[in-house]
Amino acid sequence: MLYTENASSFQLTTSQKQYNFSAGPGILPQEVMEQAAQAALDYEGLGLSLLEMSHRSQPVVELMAEAEQLVAELLGLNDEYKVLFLTGGASSQFYMVPMNLLNAEETACYVDTGSWSTKAIKEAKNFGNVAVLGSSKESNFNYIPKGYTIPEDAKYLHITSNNTIYGTQYHSFPKSDAMLVADMSSDIFSRVFDAQQFDLIYAGAQKNLGPAGTTLLIVRKSILGKVERSIPTMLDYQTHVKKNSAFNTPPVYPIYVCLLTLRWLKKNGGVTAMEKINRDKAQLLYNAIDTSEYFEGTAAKEDRSIMNVPFVMKEDQYTKKFMEYCAKHKVSGIKGHRSVGGFRASIYNAMPKTGVEYLVDLMNNFKL
């Protein structure tokens, strides 16, 4: 237990900075932040800040190559794939994916599981036909649609693997003859999966990989160059494949922080070890919610996310009181998204189990 109790109150018995349960930008490993801070002052003892080093310099070329290699190693990618670090956030991929993959007369299929997939669907309609195969909008996106049929003429199927706002997650991925595309912004590297089942994966870094400023893209090289439209140079994936993410000046510092996180992942057992820890953390928190006198979950149990856990007060009038209680006890980022309300605990890779135990203790000790 993290608390001692007396007749009037309980007190923290450990001192620590705030536990950050924010959905994004999310928590990073402490050692990663310390190493990144040092590199901002002096990178690798070279007497230069990484912030002022040329992206053409050998040290920067090497760090970007290492980051690419570690992504491939951790996810088990073969040489058919290219790893890129782009800019514009995952939101830019909402239009870059159809722009690069979908001809005007072709059909792309989407599953609508929340705000981000809804935005991706809107952008794709600018480039070709869009079929929405399933949607959970009618229940405020509290489950993952299932049982749909993928048309034989589908060019690709786009899914959002984990829904940050609504706390739902695919626990198995659809199979089809169409290309499979996924937005994995909030659960990349959190669990073992067959990455080579996918033809394209993209992920904004700031939820489970690094800081805002770069976007990870993994693409099967053979699917590129097949559309008939003229693509602006900067929006053409082939441009960045040919130039190893350095056609223009890349966001070197955010990529470096991602590299540090990837090193941390590898050192701590890779994705396999991370999945076990993440499932333990999620089970601990969901058990606390399900057995609580005051709280209840919002996502369908079979589709619950191991990354983002939304929950609400059974009696909404006490929501503010628990929020103030969390703030008093050094818990930040716990407020739920306005479309769900209540609370949301984002328990990304870098959140230690002790952080979840701390939150559970708060929930158990909370009194109206």
DSSP annotation of 341: -
Residue 346: name the closest of 365, 361, 331, 366 by CA: 331
- Smallest CA-to-CA distance from 217 within 194, 201, 239, 237 is with 201
Output the pLDDT for position 17: 76
Kindly report the backbone phi and psi dihedral angles of residue 8, in degrees, each rounded to the nearest multiple of 5, phi listed first.
-105, -30
Write down the pLDDT at residue 326. Answer: 96
**Per-residue confidence (pLDDT) for residue 185, from 0 to 100:** 97
Asked, colleague to colleague, whether 33-267 and 269-365 share their fold, the answer is no
- Whether 116 sits among the annotated catalytic residues: the reply is yes
- How far apart CA 292 and CA 289 sit, in angstroms, is 5
Per-residue pLDDT tens, the chain, 368 aa: give them: 444 433 333 344 444 578 999 999 999 999 999 999 999 999 999 999 999 999 999 999 999 999 999 999 999 999 999 999 999 999 999 999 999 999 999 999 999 999 999 999 999 999 999 999 999 999 999 999 999 999 999 999 999 999 999 999 999 999 989 999 999 999 999 999 999 999 999 999 999 999 999 999 999 999 999 999 999 999 999 999 999 999 999 999 999 999 999 999 999 999 999 999 999 999 999 999 999 999 999 999 999 999 999 999 999 999 999 999 999 999 999 999 999 999 999 999 999 999 999 999 999 999 87
Distance CA(290)–CA(297), nearest Å, equals 7
Q: What is the pLDDT of residue 16?
A: 57
Pick the CATH number of 269-365 from 3.40.47.10, 3.90.1150.10, 3.30.43.10, 3.90.950.20: 3.90.1150.10
Query: Annotated catalytic residue: which of 82, 112, 155, 183?
Result: 183
Kindly state the tokens that stand for 283: 């089970």
Q: Considering all CA atoms of the chain, what is the largest pairwise distance in Å, rounded to the nearest integer?
A: 74
Rounded CA gap, 333 and 155, in Å?
39
Helix (H) or strand (E) run with residue 326 in it = helix 319-328
> What is the C-alpha separation between 119 and 20, in angstroms, rounded?
27
Per the structure block, which two tokens stand in for 234? 């900067």
301 given a catalytic annotation: no
List, in sequence order, every beta strand (DSSP E) within 205-341: 215-220, 295-297, 308-313, 331-332
Distance between CA atoms of 24 and 193, rounded to whole angstroms? Answer: 23
**Kind plus residue range of the DSSP H or E element containing 103:** none
What are the sequence ranges of the domains in the chain? Answer: 33-267, 269-365
Question: Would you state the pLDDT for residue 40?
Answer: 97
CATH number of 33-267: 3.40.640.10
Which of 82, 116, 281, 303 is catalytic? The answer is: 116
Q: Is 242 a catalytic residue?
A: no
